[in-house]
Amino acid sequence: MEYLSNYIDGVLLAPVHGAYLDNVNPATGTVFSRVPDSGADDIDRAVAAAERAFPAWAATPAEARARQLLRLADLIDRHADALARDEATDNGKPVALARRVDIPRAAKNFRFFATAILHAATEAHPMEERALNYTLRQPLGVVGCISPWNLPLYLFTWKIAPALAAGNCVVGKPSEVTPLTAFRLAELCLEAGLPPGVLNIVHGHGARAGAALVAHPKIRAISFTGGTRTGAAIAHAAAPRFKKLSLELGGKNPNIVFADCRYDEALETAVRAAFTNQGEICLCGSRIFVERPLYERFRDDFVRRVEALRVGDPLDEDTDVGAVVSEAHLEKILAYIELAKDEGGTVLCGGHRVRLDGRCAGGFFVAPTVIEGLGPDCRVNQEEIFGPVATLIPFDTEEEVLAYANGTPYGLAAILWTENLGRAHRLAARLEAGIVWVNCWMLRDLRTPFGGMKQSGVGREGGWEALRFFTEAKNVCIKLDDRDPA
Ligand code: NDP
């Protein structure tokens, strides 16, 4: 049984009070490691270490900071196979997906922000009154990064890379449900020779370790990705302390398919957009709206393809759909499927737990589920399920589907399939979503602003947006002296 450690001040440490939580492998249902159940004392230590490290790290030239982060990226690449296996074991996702997406993206996050800071520039505002304003963007100090369980290393590094690149020191709190690759990252930081205290990783429950981090008076900003309810609790705790906040929250994303779409591509992508990572991606298109003339053909082909997805052992290279992350989450997903039936929906495929043989007999598997016959306002079409469940809804007009698409409290992403350019622009402008994908899904350029509207979040990550978030803008106004010194 492996015991994971916190990473504080450049040292792997047991939690102050010696308490640990079980870490369950969702594919087998068995405990395979123990993770520190940290509390306020551990957070205090980590923040103190980060504070000590901050002056030197902030003063380190950008090129030297970049070199450190690039070294980390190289180490992630070097250990990619082992990290992918760890991610699959901890989260339940197919190892092939972790190897193709999660781990390369973690390395890319470091590379992207390490090189971005080499090109950073700030603004100047000359005034007619013979004065010059220029903007300094200075690191904030010690910042907190809190990440969820669905894309563990991918999202953890998406936060800490820009924070560190901008010259901040970080206390990170990964989800205690999937702590393993964050722990491995700590080991890689040791191997990379990252100065002690620059990055600190404290494991534990959100309600204890996470809440202590948010409340800590020395933490200047919180970057959080997770559920909308947790985001609200964090905003509530952070607001009176005047911390900067970046919140990336839940989604209930529409996938809108017009009859003029490139059919095969729309169909294949709709399956991926609904079921990749067991549907546990905030950007998944779980509400699929299909223009009526195409509806029946699309529905039948979609269901056939979904039925062909292989639910299996995450470590099996051929698996399409692995285990959902925990037993509690399995129960939640199954409860939503029951609710769909109560609300009048028809389950076209899936709709049940899958029992596998052998090593995975105790695992948490759900058959990919497609439901039709539900109105856009029912709970199943309004609330985030975050599992392998998609609904199909026909529509007749642009106005109608726009109202459906925008008719939830969320506004993270929207997907649109049409060959009509005018319609694509028209709808892209009116969809209430931070990201609109036209004829594609999950095509990500790390320079673009990333985030949600309405209850899907506050602020944007990605590119300069992230570097701006992790810096304080300071305007310096200098009155120019035109007098001749002689
Ligand atoms: P949670 O909101 O439950 O948890 C996210 C993180 O916050 C975890 O590390 C959690 O710890 C911690 N946490 C929980 N309570 C508190 C608190 N009071 N104070 C500080 N930290 C706390 O989300 P999940 O991990 O369940 O992730 C799934 C959610 O994340 C979905 O809603 C999904 O849509 C959203 N998400 C959003 C993305 C986006 O970019 N918009 C991307 C990916 C996911 P613990 O694990 O102990 O609870």
Closest ligand 1 atom, CA of 250? 34
Sign, Cα dihedral of 64, 67, 72, 75: negative
**Stated length of the chain:** 486
The ligand 1 site (C-beta within 6 Å) comprises 146-150, 155, 173, 175-177, 205-207, 210-211, 214, 225-227, 230, 233-234, 248-251, 282, 384, 386, 412, 452, 456-457
User: Domain for residue 342, yes or no?
Assistant: yes
pLDDT at 122: 95
User: Domain for residue 353, yes or no?
Assistant: yes
Tell me: do 165 and 211 sit in the same domain. Answer: yes
Q: Smallest Cα–Cα separation from 261: which of 420, 405, 413, 398?
A: 420
Tell me: do 231 and 310 sit in the same domain. Answer: no
Which of 175, 223, 408 is the pocket-test mutation for ligand 1 (most atoms within 8 Å of CB)? 175
Quick one: pLDDT band at residue 484, thresholds 50, 70, 90?
confident
Mean pLDDT calculated for residue range 356-377: 98
CA distances (Å), origin 217, targets 163, 174, 236, 449:
18, 20, 15, 29
Q: How far is the CA of 342 from the centre of ligand 1 (A)?
A: 28
Tell me: do 177 and 285 sit in the same domain. Answer: no
pLDDT at 5 > cutoff 90: yes
Tell me: do 60 and 196 sit in the same domain. Answer: yes
DSSP secondary structure letter of residue 250: -
Which residues pair with residue 393 across a beta bridge? 289
Mean pLDDT calculated for residue range 236-264: 97
The structure tokens listed for 26 are 């969702």
Q: What are phi and psi of 410, to 5 degrees?
A: -95, 165
CB 137 within 8 A of CB 122: yes
Mean pLDDT calculated for residue range 398-423: 98
d(CA 286, CA 291): 16
Number of domains in the chain: 2
pLDDT, tens digit, for every residue of 198-214? 999 999 999 999 999 99
Which residues pair with residue 366 across a beta bridge? 353
User: Domain for residue 7, yes or no?
Assistant: yes
In terms of C-beta density within 10 A (0-12 exposed, 13-18 middle, 19 or more buried), how is residue 121 classed? exposed
Burial code (b: 16+ CB inside 10 Å, e: under 16) for 312-347 equals: bbbbbeebbbbbbbbeebbeebbebbebbeebebeb
User: Domain for residue 187, yes or no?
Assistant: yes
Question: Can you give the residue range of the structural domain that contains 183?
Answer: 2-249+456-475
- Report percent pLDDT > 90 for the chain: 99
Q: Smallest Cα–Cα separation from 249: which of 89, 99, 408?
A: 408
Q: Smallest Cα–Cα separation from 325: which of 134, 447, 140, 180?
A: 180
- Active-site residue identified among 87, 176, 248, 465: 248
Q: How far is the CA of 210 from the centre of ligand 1 (A)?
A: 10
Q: How far is the CA of 224 from the centre of ligand 1 (A)?
A: 8
User: Domain for residue 445, yes or no?
Assistant: no
pLDDT, tens digit, for every residue of 111-136? 999 999 999 999 999 999 999 999 99
pLDDT at 458: 97
pLDDT at 177 > cutoff 80: yes
pLDDT at 483 > cutoff 90: no
Reply yes or no on whether 169 is catalytic: no
In terms of C-beta density within 10 A (0-12 exposed, 13-18 middle, 19 or more buried), how is residue 378 classed? middle
pLDDT at 389 > cutoff 80: yes
Closest ligand 1 atom, CA of 282? 34
Tell me: do 141 and 69 sit in the same domain. Answer: yes
User: Domain for residue 463, yes or no?
Assistant: yes
pLDDT, tens digit, for every residue of 413-442? 999 999 999 999 999 999 999 999 999 999
Q: Which residues contact 320 (CB under 8 A, 6 or more apart)?
A: 94, 275, 309, 310, 311, 312
pLDDT, tens digit, for every residue of 16-69? 999 999 999 999 999 999 999 999 999 999 999 999 999 999 999 999 999 999
Tell me: do 393 and 463 sit in the same domain. Answer: no
Note every long-range contact of 262-267, with CB atoms under 8 Å and residues 24 or more positions apart, other chains counting. Answer: 262/417, 262/419, 262/439, 263/294, 263/298, 265/417, 265/439, 266/298, 266/417, 266/439, 267/298, 267/301, 267/302, 267/305
CATH number of the domain within which 403 lies: 3.40.309.10
Tell me: do 356 and 471 sit in the same domain. Answer: no
pLDDT at 267 > cutoff 90: yes
- Active-site residue identified among 261, 282, 284, 360: 282
User: Domain for residue 481, yes or no?
Assistant: no
Of all protein residues, the one whose alpha carbon is nearest to atom 30 of ligand 1 is 226
CATH number of the domain within which 188 lies: 3.40.605.10
Tell me: do 238 and 387 sit in the same domain. Answer: no
d(CA 108, CA 111): 5
**What residue ranges in 100-227 does DSSP mark as E strands?**
124-127, 131-139, 142-146, 169-173, 199-201, 219-225
Q: How far is the CA of 131 from the centre of ligand 1 (A)?
A: 47
pLDDT at 464: 97
d(CA 252, CA 87): 25
Q: How far is the CA of 60 from the centre of ligand 1 (A)?
A: 32
Phi-psi region of 198 (alpha: psi -120 to 50; beta: other; left: phi over 0): alpha
pLDDT, tens digit, for every residue of 211-244? 999 999 999 999 999 999 999 999 999 999 999 9
Of all protein residues, the one whose alpha carbon is nearest to atom 14 of ligand 1 is 206
pLDDT, tens digit, for every residue of 452-478? 999 999 999 999 999 999 999 999 999
pLDDT at 377: 98
pLDDT at 355 > cutoff 90: yes
Closest ligand 1 atom, CA of 450? 40
Tell me: do 427 and 461 sit in the same domain. Answer: no
Reply yes or no on whether 338 is catalytic: no
d(CA 53, CA 11): 14
pLDDT at 485: 78
pLDDT, tens digit, for every residue of 287-308? 999 999 999 999 999 999 999 9
Q: How far is the CA of 230 from the centre of ligand 1 (A)?
A: 6
Mean pLDDT calculated for residue range 94-120: 98
Q: How far is the CA of 214 from the centre of ligand 1 (A)?
A: 13
Tell me: do 169 and 303 sit in the same domain. Answer: no
Which of 230, 278, 326 is the pocket-test mutation for ligand 1 (most atoms within 8 Å of CB)? 230
CA distances (Å), origin 224, targets 2, 38, 315, 417:
28, 18, 30, 31
Tell me: do 181 and 221 sit in the same domain. Answer: yes
pLDDT at 486 > cutoff 80: no
pLDDT at 343: 98
User: Domain for residue 486, yes or no?
Assistant: no
Closest ligand 1 atom, CA of 230? 2
Tell me: do 210 and 307 sit in the same domain. Answer: no
3-state SS class at 211: helix
